[in-house]
Amino acid sequence: QVQLVESGGGLVQTGGSLRLSCAASGFTLDLYAIGWFRQAPGKGREGVSCISGSDGVAYYADSVKGRFTISRDNDKNTVHLEMNSLNPEDTAVYYCAANSRGFTSLFGSSYNYWGQGTQVTVSS
């Protein structure tokens, strides 16, 4: 059974940092592309970052480029999202997702497995 579990969310002040984790079970993580998405209240889902399964190539949305870093630990079957210089516009529920076809994308429709999400709140 494929399962993704996010952790690491919380409340942080503007300028602070958080590290999100996405723990995978039921499949081998390095065969899948993994994406991070977020959804703020009243807004649509936004692709934040993604990383390929084969060679670890990463992509970022312009809104987070230079502030967020995605990485994968295949030994622990986990993907991390390091978030720095956070601002209130980063407040959202963050989700990780897996694409069994392996290609990277910042479009949610490309992913067939999703976690339950973790709340990130940035106070001003």
3 state SS of 52: coil
Residue 30: predicted pLDDT:
81
Question: 50-102 pLDDT, tens per residue?
Answer: 999 878 899 999 999 999 999 999 889 999 999 999 999 999 999 999 998 88
Q: Percent helix, strand and coil across the chain, each rounded to 5? A: 5, 50, 45
Token pair 């807004």 is at which residue?
43
Question: What is the rounded average pLDDT for all residues in the chain?
Answer: 95
Contact 103, 54 (CB under 8 A): no
**Is the pLDDT confidence value at 28 over 90?**
no
